[in-house]
Amino acid sequence: MLGCMTDWASWHLQYEDPGSELSQRLVAVQEQIALALQRAAPGSPRLLSLCAGDGRDVLPVLAGHPRGRDVTGRLVELDPVLSGAARAAAPPSIEVLTADAGSTAACAGAVPADLLLLCGIFGNVGDADVARTVAAVPALLATGGTVIWTRHRRAPDLTVRIRSWLSEAGVEEVAFATAPGSGWSVGAGVLRARSAPMPTPGGRLFTFQAREG
């Protein structure tokens, strides 16, 4: 079942409150995006954001960062309202696809990326899908590239396993920021292993679970 069952445009309204948990998570994500751009090798870093929403995490950072104009790449978002908003805000170097990001087809031509955003995905898919997506990081990311991911820490806290899976995939953790309690977490890691072919070419990384609200 694809993610359009949920009203994700309404979900984004939580960002309008700067004190909301989601707004605090956004700050943590944007900090890691800026640091990743600083770390990126000279040239044109390639961006891939899956389930990108309206792009409010990465697009403002690109607009204000000294490396931002160099960045090329793709945002993939299924909801046409949100992808339309992202497209309107994106510079010409950033393509916005209205597509199912859980299909590896949505990544074709945009990988390996130097900056991979997996934000707002791991709390909405099954554990096996999280594991499969993490295992695909070496195919989605170039060596030396950064993956930024998010996940709540409600029991049973899957972040422990996600961090371990990332390490097994050759990703060295460079940051793990958390909200108090069992709220959000934001992880960032750099792929130290060699980039690899897609483990499931023409297949699926994840399928969003239906949610209310």
Ligand X SMILES: C[S@@+](CC[C@H](N)C(=O)[O-])C[C@H]1O[C@@H](n2cnc3c(N)ncnc32)[C@H](O)[C@@H]1O
Residue ranges that bind ligand X, judged by CB under 6 A: 2-3, 8, 51-53, 57, 76-79, 82, 100-102, 119-120, 124, 208
Please report how close the Cβ of residue 42 comes to ligand X at its closest, in angstroms: 28
Q: Considering the complex, what minimum distance in angstroms separates the CB of residue 187 from ligand X?
A: 13
Closest to ligand X by CB, 9 or 193: 9
CB of 20 to ligand X, least distance (A): 12
Nearer to ligand X, 149 or 165 (CB): 149
| Residues in contact with 78: Cβ distance below 8 Å, sequence separation at least 6, in sequence order | 2, 3, 4, 51, 98, 99, 100, 101
CB of 42 closer than 8 Å to CB of 48: no
For residues 2 and 160, which CB has a smaller minimum distance to ligand X in the complex?
A: 2
What is the chain's alpha carbon radius of gyration, rounded to the nearest angstrom? Answer: 16
Instruction: Rank residues 124 and 185 by Cβ distance to ligand X and give the closer one.
Output: 124
The angle formed by the CA atoms of residues 196, 202 and 206, to the nearest 5 degrees, is 85
C-beta closer to ligand X: residue 73 or 120: 120
Task: Report residue 68 as tokens.
Answer: 């931002």
How near is the Cβ of 119 to ligand X at its closest, in Å?
Answer: 4
Q: Whose CA is closest to 33, among 70, 72, 55, 62? A: 62
DSSP-assigned letter for residue 110: S
Report the C-alpha gap between 84 and 93 in whole angstroms: 16
- Strand ranges for 22-133 from DSSP E: 46-50, 72-77, 94-98, 113-118
Kindly tell me which of 9 and 174 has the beta carbon lying closer to ligand X: 9
Q: Taking CB positions, which residue lies at the least distance from ligand X?
A: 3
CA distance 40 to 113: 11
